[in-house]
Structure formats: structure tokens, C-alpha cells
Amino acid sequence: MNASLQEKTHKPPDTSPIARRGAPRKAARYTTRTAYNRKEQLPRLIGLWPHEVEDYSEAASERIVALLQKALRSERQRGIGGHWTYDVNRHLALKEALSEETERLRIVKGLAAVRALPPASTKRTEPAATSGNRPRAKILHLPFGEAAPTPTRNSDAK
């Protein structure tokens, strides 16, 4: 046999269990999933502007949930139909974003319902007999979004 021809031909690797035992194994490269980040993922998934992503109102959250549902429906149809543009990673990201945004909308609606409640009655009832002369603590109920008033020191009142 010619020497140049012998160099070009090669023998297949030995796949016997004995030969594989000493071979180093390659670790599978799995990407770690990061937590859902609204500002990074929503613009890529459904094409929102930054000011739309930063709007946390109830109406904006409902719009985002509707857009995510529409995009997820389209992605599912691509997967079912075997379309070449189907991307399983996009499908998973849409599913995760939809669950997070649905939870956020549920919370926002809950807070809106709390704000819609009528204020507590102004009638003050005397509490049951307390032990000792210790005054009862005042409970300050604030509507969502308002800050508590800062206490001021008044040197005149003693």
C-alpha cells in the first residue's frame, strides 16, 4: 500500500466497553434558566416599547396578557403544524411570561378591589376592658401607593 494512501485512511475508534472506560467523559452543557425579567424578555417576545413595559397599570397588564396569549397560540400552531420557524425555547419563554404576567394581573386586580372598598366607618367603639392603663396602639391604614406621614417633633407641646 502507498504511504500517502495509508495516512488518509483511518481506523474507526474502538467502542468496546474496555476502551471507553478510561476515556474522559464530556459533561453535557445545560444552560441554567434565569428568572423571568419583564424588562428584558417582553420586548423580545411580543415587541413592546420600553414605556409600555414599565407601565404596571391594570389596563396595561390586561393588554400584555392578551398579547402573550395571542403569541403563545400562534407558537403552538406553528409547533403542531411542524413549521420551520417554530422555536421550543420561544414557546417555553412565552409560557413562562404568560404565567408571570397573569399572576401580576391577579395581584393588580386584587389591589384595585381593595382600593374600591368603602372606607371604614368613623364610629369608634370602645374596646373591651384592657388590663392596666396602657393605651392601645393606633393602627394606620393607608391606601395603596401613599406614604406614611413622617412624625414631627413639636417642642411646644409637652
* 104-158 per-position pLDDT tens digit: 999 888 877 777 656 555 555 555 555 556 666 565 555 555 555 565 666 555 5
| Mean local confidence (pLDDT), 31-39 | 78
- Confidence band, pLDDT 50/70/90 cuts, at residue 35: confident
pLDDT score at 75: 96
Residue 23 has pLDDT above 70, yes or no: no
pLDDT score at 115: 73
Q: For the chain, what is the total number of helices (H) and then of strands (E)? A: 6, 0
For residues 14 and 149, what is the distance between their CA atoms, to the nearest angstrom? 78
pLDDT score at 95: 95
pLDDT score at 114: 74
Residue 24 has pLDDT above 60, yes or no: no
- Residue among 149, 34, 22 nearest 96 (CA): 34
Q: Which pTM value belongs to this model?
A: 0.54
- Residue among 54, 57, 47, 93 nearest 72 (CA): 93
pLDDT, tens only, 51-89: 999 998 889 999 999 999 999 999 999 999 999 999 999
